[in-house]
């Protein structure tokens, strides 16, 4: 019974993908305000790749925009026309500089200990997550590790502190759930 039900279901769903006899499979779309009519499809392989603008082109565009008079909102002013004979003035531009993050003393000390500086929640609290010396080593109690002894794997935690909820073993080898946000 199940086999027949599955077969009928597969045929019904497969029929949704097939075109009706006599149809080409492409539906004619009439132009309307929502769909806007037929969509033209072109291959990206056929188009020649556009060359990226050069620094001189970007500088010329910036100079043209700087020379244009400022228009009041809502007013219609004619933009100055540029001709092909007029060479654009060359404007020297400096290469963009990436913003430099200022690191606190705690952040620098964390990186010196091979730690990872992270933030929690909405970025309001920051902390240093450092690798432990015995991460991955087998353990039966918290006293066997410099960090936590993970109950599920029976190994020492690879980093300290470990955010989230984890089942750990205490000094007596009893399992506890510890949550650190």
The model's pTM: 0.41
What pLDDT digit, counting tens, does each position of 59-108 carry? 565 555 555 555 555 555 555 555 556 666 676 776 777 777 777 888 88
> Pairing state of beta strands 164-169 and 175-180?
antiparallel
Q: Which sequence spans correspond to the domains of the chain?
A: 105-180
Query: What sign for the dihedral angle of Cα 61, 62, 66, 71?
Result: positive
What pLDDT digit, counting tens, does each position of 22-66 carry? 555 555 656 666 666 666 777 766 555 555 555 566 556 555 555
């Amino acid at each position: 019974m199940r086999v027949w039900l599955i077969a009928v279901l597969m045929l019904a769903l497969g029929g949704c993908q097939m075109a009706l006899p006599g149809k080409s499979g492409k539906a004619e779309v009439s132009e309307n305000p929502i769909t806007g009519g037929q969509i033209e499809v072109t291959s990206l392989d056929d188009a020649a790749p556009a060359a990226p603008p050069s620094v001189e082109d970007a500088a010329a565009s910036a100079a043209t925009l700087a020379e244009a008079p400022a228009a009041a909102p809502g007013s219609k002013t004619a933009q100055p026309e540029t001709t092909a004979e007029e060479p654009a003035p060359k404007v020297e531009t400096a290469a963009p500089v990436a913003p430099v993050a200022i690191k606190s003393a705690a952040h620098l000390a964390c990186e010196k200990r091979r730690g990872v500086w992270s933030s929690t929640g909405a970025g309001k609290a920051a902390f240093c997550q450092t690798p432990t010396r015995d991460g991955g080593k087998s353990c039966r109690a918290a006293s066997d590790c410099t960090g936590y002894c993970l109950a599920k794997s029976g190994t020492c935690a690879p980093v300290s502190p470990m955010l989230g909820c984890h089942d750990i073993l205490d000094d007596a080898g009893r399992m506890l759930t510890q949550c650190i946000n």
